[in-house]
C-alpha cells in the first residue's frame, strides 16, 4: 500500500496514538443541569465517544468539561469538580480505549461565556435552570446581549489554577491518557490572554507577561499534578482584530501566539492544538476550507519544528483544524509541514466511520476493528 502520513502513529509525551486523524472536543449539552448528577457524563456520552473511537480516529478529546460547576459553558455541560464523579468519567474513557483510540478530556472554565442554555437554545440560563453569575478577568460582557461578568479577585484566580490541577488529577484517575487545557474560543483563559477582554492593571493583566500568566500557571500546575502524562493546550491563535485585515481594535494576535508557544512548551505542554477566534463576537473571521491551517503552521514554525528544535528546547507536536473536509487536503497539510495532527469535527458528527473511508481514499490500510473489515474489501 502507498504511504499515507495521516495514518501513521504519532507520539505525544511518550504516548503513541495509532494515527494522526483525531476527534476534537465538541460540546454535546447532554449532562444534567442540577442535582447530584450535575455535570456527569451519561450513557449518551459513552455511546457517542465510543463510536468515534471504533470508527478509527487516533485519539478522542472529550468535550469541554468545567473544572468547577461555574466553569461550565452551559448548564448541560460536563463538569469534573468532585471525586464522586470519577466513576462516570471512567466509563467514557473505557469506551474510547475499547475502540482503540487514545483518550483525552478538555478541561475548561467558560468565564464570561458561561451559564448559557444548551447549544441549540438561546440566551443565558435562569437560576431555576441552574444558571449562575459569570466571572471574568474584567467586567466586560461578551456582547450587548450578554451579562456583565464579575471581575475575579486574586485569591479566586489562584483557586482556579488549583481547580484545573485538581480536575486533571481526577481525569487521570478516571483512566484518561492525558488532558487538554482549553485556552481558546473566548473562554476564561483566552479572556485573560486578550487585551480585548483583559483590562486588569495587576499582575494578571497589562502587558504580555501579565496577560499570559494565568495560562502558564495553569499549565505548570497541571503538569505538576499529573506527572508525565500528556498535557495538551488548545489555543485560539488570533482574535481576528489585528490581521486579515486589521480593524484597529485590540486583540490577541498570531504574533502573540507564536511568542507564547515556546513558553508553554517549557512550562510542560506536550502538544498545542491550534484554532482561532471566539473572543470578539463581531470580528471579521477568515473563512473557507482549511481557513485556520495558517495559524497551526505559524505555531509550528515558532516551535522550530520545520528547522529543527534549538538545543534544550522541547519538541512538541501541533494540530490543525477548521474545515478540513477531505483526506487529500488533510494529507497535504501534513506533508507540507503545516501540522503534525489533523482534527476533524463536523465530519465525525455526521459519519463516525469517516476515518475508514478516508484511509480507503488514500489507499492506506485502515486500522478498523476486525469485525468491520468486510467493509474495506473490494
CA distances from 299 to 64, 254, 275 (A): 23, 8, 11
Prior bond to 297 cis, omega within 30?
Answer: no
The HSE-up count of residue 114 (CA atoms within 13 Å, CB side) is 33
Q: How far apart are CA 339 and CA 10, in angstroms?
A: 12
- In this prediction, residues 278-283 reach a mean pLDDT of 95
CA distances from 377 to 251, 318, 357 (A): 51, 33, 12
- Say what the pLDDT of residue 229 is: 98
Mean pLDDT is lowest, of 25-39, 90-104, 358-372, for: 358-372
Angle of helix 293-302 relative to helix 254-267, nearest 10 degrees? 50
Residues 6+ positions from 129 with CB-CB distance below 8 Å: 33, 75, 117
Contact 79, 153 (CB under 8 A): no
pLDDT 10s digits, 204-234: 999 999 999 999 999 999 999 999 999 999 9
User: Which of 116, 11, 14, 21 has its CA nearest to residue 61?
Assistant: 21
Is the pLDDT assigned to residue 377 strictly greater than 70?
no
CA distances from 78 to 21, 142, 221 (A): 24, 22, 21
pLDDT-based confidence at residue 307 (cuts at 50, 70, 90): low
Q: How far apart are CA 112 and CA 79, in angstroms?
A: 17
Average pLDDT, the chain: 94
Which residues are identified as catalytic? 187
- Say what the pLDDT of residue 366 is: 72
Is the pLDDT assigned to residue 19 strictly greater than 80?
yes
Is the pLDDT assigned to residue 353 strictly greater than 90?
yes
Q: How far apart are CA 190 and CA 146, in angstroms?
A: 17
- In this prediction, residues 29-36 reach a mean pLDDT of 95
pLDDT 10s digits, 152-209: 999 999 999 999 999 999 999 999 999 999 999 999 999 999 999 999 999 999 999 9
pLDDT-based confidence at residue 287 (cuts at 50, 70, 90): confident
CA distance between the termini of the chain: 14
SS (H, E, C) the chain: CCCCHHHCCEEECCEEECCCEEECCCCCCCCECCCCCECCCCHHHHHHHHHHHHCCCCEEEEEEEECCHHHCCECCCEECCCHHHHHHHHHHHHHHHHCCCEEEEEEECCHHHCCECCCCCCCECCHHHCCCCCEECCCCCCCCCCCCCEECCHHHHHHHHHHHHHHHHHHHHCCCCEEEEEECCCCHHHHHHCCCCCCCCCCCCCCHHHHCHHHHHHHHHHHHHHCCCCEEEEEECCCCCCCCCCCCCCCCCHHHHHHHHHHHHHHCCCEEEEECCCCCCCCCCCCCCCCCHHHHHHHHHHCCCCCCCCCCCCCCCEEECCCCCCHHHHHHHHHCCCCCEEECCHHHHHCCCHHHHHHHHCCCCCCCCHHHHHHHCC
Q: How far apart are CA 259 and CA 91, in angstroms?
A: 39
pLDDT-based confidence at residue 1 (cuts at 50, 70, 90): very low
Label residues 338-362 b or e (16+ Cβ within 10 Å = b).
bbbbbbbbebbeeebbbbbbbbeeb
pLDDT 10s digits, 324-352: 999 999 999 999 999 999 999 999 999 99
Q: How far apart are CA 16 and CA 42, in angstroms?
A: 28
pLDDT-based confidence at residue 378 (cuts at 50, 70, 90): low
- Say what the pLDDT of residue 2 is: 54
Strands 318-320 and 341-343: parallel
Q: How far apart are CA 191 and CA 205, in angstroms?
A: 10
pLDDT 10s digits, 102-157: 999 999 999 999 999 999 998 899 999 999 999 999 999 999 999 999 999 999 99
Q: Which CATH architecture has domain 5-376?
A: Alpha-Beta Barrel (3.20)
Amino acid at each position: 500500500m502507498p504511504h499515507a502520513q495521516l495514518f501513521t502513529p504519532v507520539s505525544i509525551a511518550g504516548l503513541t496514538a495509532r494515527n494522526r486523524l483525531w476527534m476534537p472536543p465538541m460540546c454535546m449539552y447532554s449532562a444534567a443541569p442540577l442535582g447530584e448528577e450535575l455535570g456527569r457524563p451519561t450513557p449518551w456520552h459513552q455511546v457517542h465517544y465510543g463510536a468515534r473511537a471504533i470508527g478509527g480516529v487516533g485519539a478522542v478529546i472529550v468535550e469541554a468539561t468545567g473544572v468547577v460547576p461555574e466553569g461550565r459553558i452551559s448548564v448541560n455541560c460536563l463538569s469534573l469538580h468532585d471525586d464522586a464523579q470519577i466513576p462516570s468519567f471512567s466509563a467514557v474513557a473505557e469506551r474510547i480505549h475499547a475502540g482503540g483510540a487514545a483518550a483525552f478530556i478538555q478541561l475548561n472554565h467558560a468565564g464570561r461565556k458561561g451559564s448559557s442554555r444548551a447549544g441549540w437554545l438561546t440566551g443565558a440560563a435562569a437560576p431555576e435552570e441552574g444558571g449562575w453569575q459569570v466571572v471574568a478577568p474584567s467586567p466586560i460582557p461578551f456582547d450587548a446581549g450578554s451579562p456583565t461578568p464579575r471581575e475575579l479577585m486574586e485569591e479566586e484566580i489562584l483557586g482556579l489554577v488549583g481547580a484545573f490541577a485538581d480536575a486533571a488529577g481526577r481525569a487521570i484517575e478516571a483512566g484518561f491518557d492525558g488532558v487538554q487545557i482549553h485556552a481558546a474560543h473566548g473562554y476564561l483563559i483566552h479572556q485573560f490572554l486578550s487585551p480585548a477582554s483583559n483590562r486588569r492593571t495587576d499582575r494578571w493583566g497589562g502587558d504580555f507577561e501579565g496577560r499570559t500568566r494565568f495560562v502558564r500557571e495553569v499549565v505548570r500546575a497541571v503538569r505538576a499534578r499529573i506527572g508525565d502524562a500528556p498535557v495538551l493546550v488548545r489555543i485560539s491563535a488570533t482574535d481576528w482584530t489585528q490581521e486579515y485585515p486589521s480593524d484597529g481594535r485590540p486583540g490577541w494576535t498570531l504574533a502573540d501566539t507564536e511568542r507564547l508557544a515556546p513558553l508553554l512548551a517549557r512550562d510542560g505542554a506536550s502538544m498545542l492544538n491550534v484554532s482561532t477566534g471566539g473572543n470578539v463576537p463581531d470580528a471579521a473571521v477568515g473563512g473557507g476550507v482549511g481557513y485556520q491551517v495558517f495559524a497551526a503552521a505559524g505555531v509550528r514554525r515558532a516551535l522550530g519544528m520545520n528547522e529543527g528544535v534549538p538545543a534544550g528546547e522541547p519538541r512538541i507536536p501541533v494540530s490543525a483544524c477548521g474545515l478540513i473536509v477531505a483526506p487529500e487536503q488533510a494529507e497535504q497539510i501534513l506533508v507540507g509541514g503545516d501540522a503534525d495532527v489533523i482534527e476533524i469535527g463536523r465530519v465525525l458528527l455526521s459519519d463516525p466511520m469517516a476515518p475508514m473511508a478516508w484511509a480507503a481514499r488514500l489507499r492506506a490500510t485502515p486500522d478498523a476493528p476486525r469485525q468491520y473489515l468486510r467493509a474495506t474489501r473490494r
